[in-house]
Amino acid sequence: MSKRVNSTPFTDGFRMPGEHEPQDAVWMAWPERCDNWRYGGKPAQATFVEVAKAISKTTPVTMTVSAQQFENARTMLPDNIRLVEMSSDDSWMRDIGPSYVINSDGERRGVDWHFNAWGGLVDGLYFPWDKDDAVAQKVCEMNQDASYRAPIVLEGGSIHVDGEGTLYTTEECLLHPSRNPDLSREQLEQVLHDYLAVEKVIWIPSGLYNDETNGHVDNLIHVVRPGEVVLTWCEDPQDPQYALSRKALDALETQTDAKGRQIKVHKIPMPGPLYISESEANGVDASDGMEREAGERLAGSYANYLITNDQIVYPLLDKNHDAEMESILNELYPGYMVTGVDAREILLGGGNIHCITQQVPAV
């Protein structure tokens, strides 16, 4: 049943589906790391519960949790959320869970990337990260899905696919010296082709300003459907994000996707800018890798939402833009349920709703 496969997904006829395709489940991991989440993770845990509840309206949710936190998590989560004990170093399931691939015969397998805490010993956020690196295989084992161990360091949040052969990523992250310094752009494209069956890689220069993941693409854009994306947009020429968003727009509009389509770009507002407050910073244990000081700019983005079975679960981040974002999503996804969750606590930990979830496609 579940085993390591020694070939590649492309050779075996598997491809990575888009997030808009049907899903069997969404996986999450319980937050408790005290040098990332304030006050022992208590405020973040309450938010993770709300995200899990929102997703469970359309898709079954499995939450992994440490042995120490099992009772607490079980008490806080509704009964319909499956809870499994699994060790991890933190709770970014998008980056530590498997990227799933499917074939036309109704089979599903996981791709297990190497994980080095967003930069290893060069600029990683914590050490060690071996428990995180083991999560993807464990998820596949629990789902009784075979898995491939891919030969590169990659986080799930650093890529978006459209399910029709196109992959979006940022040069800032995938070409960063802390990931795969010995591989060229062309060699990386070959690995992405072999393991996700993508035919075309759309390279965007940079991610969101001050994003400690080295610019994950899922914090800047989201694939709405094949040939169509949303892009975090900034109107203030004095803001560092202003130039980054324009370079991204230029990259998206001057390349065609795997099917030769011009990419349609919908601009979405940037929340804030948002900053860590004094009281928020005071609740976090000191750490070598993560900047959690008062006044630190947060990499807040509405693009960091999850698409799951005709539902959008998106972060509420800024009262000036939350409602506008809701109406944009309603327009882009007719017939979908659009659910907003107050997500500042996730943002304080360095990511958002897309970063803490990983979908398992239906077969």
The set of catalytic residues is 355
Distance of alpha carbon 207 from the chain centroid: 13
- Strand 146-153's sheet: what is its strand order? 99-102, 108-114, 146-153
The tokens describing 201, both together, are 């890689």
Q: Is the dihedral of CA 116, 127, 276, 349 positive or negative?
A: positive
Measured from the Cβ of residue 281, the count of other Cβ atoms closer than 10 Å reads: 17
Torsion of CA 325, 326, 328, 332, to 10 degrees: 130
Between the alpha carbon of residue 237 and those of residues 36, 267, 321, the distances in Å are: 32, 16, 19
Between the alpha carbon of residue 1 and those of residues 108, 145, 278, the distances in Å are: 11, 7, 51
Distance CA 105, CA 59 (A): 23
